[in-house]
Amino acid sequence: MKLFSRLIFIFLFLFSASSLKAQTPLSQIDFFWGQGCPHCVKEEIFLDDLQKQYPELVINRYEIHDPANNQLLKEAGQRLNADTSGIPFTVVADQYFVGFLSDDTTGQKIKQALGLVSDTPTDALNLPLLGTINIKNFSLPFLTFIIALLDGFNPCAMWTLMFLISLLLGLKDRRRMWILGIAFIASSAFVYFLFLTAWLKLFLFIGFITWVKILIALVALASGSYYLRDYFTNKDATCKVTGGQKKQKIFTRLKAITQKEQFIFALIGIILLAFVVNLVELVCSAGLPAIYTQILALADLPSWQYYLYLLFYIFIFMLDDLIIFFIAMTTLKAVGLNSKYSRLSHLIGGILMLIIGFLLIFKPEFLMFGK
């Protein structure tokens, strides 16, 4: 556990650190915008004011509905290895910015890239090996950890694994037990990763549109209210999406699959069933992933970091499943989480989602980590 804690600590700090590149004042901005884009208008006003303050500043403006300008945008995206589906898209040397929230957030980052203001955070710590750490930006990895942990205590995501463990413990072949169990967990993790990736790509494609953030904020408020209501009314922390008949059908299939004589058919059956079960259970757990990926899409990150955050989310999400499975396979005794932990996760998750919902509406800049 000590080693795990240290790994988590290092991850949280490494992906919170601000860029420490030395910068010299620059004098050129490439600004890609589109007709009818409200955020483009906000940035255009910001750039006009900036040019008044610094007359030597050159601002190249490209309206992307012009084929030539659209081609320039694509070339810029290829050069920077950036997703150019969202506008406004602003380039300063080897840095780029997608969207524009306000002068104090995205505008400040553009000024930093130009070398007009210092990018050294005032709330920074100098740590051995890790360098300068921005405490403010520490929130994104920490938020990832908390939301994924709460999501992992979902009762709908646990009962199938408990059924499977009870069946595996009845098998005599220990190797078969381990392989089938790990295959089920790995397949479940893969389905959830695809689900998170789909949400993230949707929000990155849509871009920084106000009504989208408002919609997600309403989802967060509704989900938070539901979680709190469920905490007070659902004392047993049971899953309401999969009723008794559905559970019995899945249990029967699991029993038939695990007892197949030919191992390859049992393995394929477990993988396919993991896909089906987790797709059904996504109905029960769609709120937290949608809210989290919207927050992640608001961050100004390289593409590879988006997916590394998703993998980190999946690891934390599956952590309770992994612990329960390994304990059961090692001790040959079925173990489970007390329902009070699931209820507590609903209480904490409900409060957290309400906070996020209000922030998305009234103070979205607080959730734009790294901007």
Per-residue pLDDT at 29: 94
Q: What is the share, in percent, of the chain residues with pLDDT greater than 90?
A: 21
The more confidently predicted of residues 41 and 211 is: 41
> Cβ contacts of residue 331 below 8 Å, gap of 6+?
none
Numbered ranges of CATH 3.40.30.10 in the chain: 28-119
247 compared with 163, residue with greater pLDDT = 163
What's the CA angle centered on 76, arms 73 and 81, to 5 degrees?
Answer: 120
Token reading at 74: 């694509």
Give the pLDDT of residue 18. 38
Tell me the C-alpha distance between 134 and 28, whole Å. 27
> Does residue 262 contact residue 166 with C-beta atoms inside 8 Å?
no
- Band (pLDDT 50/70/90 cuts) for residue 194 is very high
Q: What is the pLDDT of residues 81-115, one digit of tens each?
A: 988 888 999 999 889 999 888 888 888 889 988 88
Mean pLDDT comparison of 36-50, 209-223, 236-250, 349-363, highest-scoring range: 36-50
Q: What's residue 245's pLDDT? A: 63
Q: Say if residue 243's pLDDT is above 90.
A: no
Tens digit of pLDDT for each residue in 311-336?
A: 999 999 898 888 888 888 888 776 65
Whether residue 137 is predicted with pLDDT greater than 60 in this model: the reply is: no
Whether the per-residue pLDDT at 69 is higher than 80: the answer is: yes
pLDDT of residue 83: 85
**Mean pLDDT of the 170-188 span:** 87
Compute the mean pLDDT over every residue in the chain, rounded to the nearest whole number: 78
pLDDT, mean of residues 176-190: 90
Instruction: Give the pLDDT score at 307.
Output: 93
SS3 158: coil
Q: What 8-state DSSP symbol labels residue 215?
A: H
pTM above 0.85, yes or no: no
**pLDDT for position 122:** 46
Cα–Cα distance between 32 and 83 in angstroms, integer? 13
Mean pLDDT value of segment 287-311: 87
- Domain 28-119 in CATH 1.10.1040.10? The answer is no
